[in-house]
Amino acid sequence: MASQPLEVTLYHYPLTRSTRPLWLLHELGGKVKFTCKRVELMKGEAYSPEFVRMNPNHALPVLLYKDDSGVEQALFESCAIVEFLTDALAAGELAPPIGISNGRAEYKKWLWFAGSWMDQLLWQLRQHDESGILPSDQKDSRVVDRTKGKWIKEIVPQVVAQLEVLTRYLARLAERPAYQAAFQDAATFGK
């Protein structure tokens, strides 16, 4: 790790995937100095020319940092940011050490499961259900039915099998000051 804290800027909106790296930045403490810039998604700011230069996919999060040669880089995708920062600044502390181990494999499996498979299902529901973000004429109840079916058949059994352990784990996470700091803006979603 460098003698000076890594300086980064995180582009964020409450209760989105950008909360994952925001939480990690709080966990990293003095290893990183960060600025959090709110992107007003509901106002279309993710489509501005400045934002598109950082992420042509119009999505959060985006992390700006300078690489070892001092060149500013933009990294997007929440799991990529979490993995990058953890490996660079807290390997073996906030994640199992890098190497060939079952612990490391389990960490990667669940990190990417949450950030890809589960996110995709939740996003479909968030768009298409009755209170979803899509206009009524674009909502498709068949998408909701398929997504709920997959959720019930594929996600619920995995959660139920680990429910006791998962419940204790989630309770411990919610007690962490960094978790609480990362979610302190939750009430401002959509405002």
The full set of domains in the chain, from first to last, is 6-89 (3.40.30.10), 102-185 (no CATH)
Q: Is 22 exposed, middle or buried (0-12, 13-18, 19+ CB in 10 A)?
A: buried
Please tell me the predicted confidence (pLDDT) of residue 5: 92
What is the CB neighbour count within 10 angstroms for residue 163?
11
Please tell me the predicted confidence (pLDDT) of residue 1: 45
Q: What is the DSSP letter of 74?
A: E
Residue-wise pLDDT for 160-177, tens only, equals: 888 899 899 999 999 999
Please tell me the predicted confidence (pLDDT) of residue 76: 98
What is the CB neighbour count within 10 angstroms for residue 86?
22
Angle in degrees, CA 90, 99, 85, rounded to 5: 25
pTM of the model: 0.88
What is the full per-residue pLDDT of the chain (191 aa) written as tens digits? 446 899 999 999 999 999 999 999 999 999 999 999 999 998 999 999 999 999 999 999 999 999 999 999 999 999 999 999 999 999 899 999 999 999 999 999 999 999 998 888 888 888 888 877 788 999 999 999 999 999 899 888 988 888 899 899 999 999 999 999 999 999 998 88
Query: What is the chain's length?
Result: 191
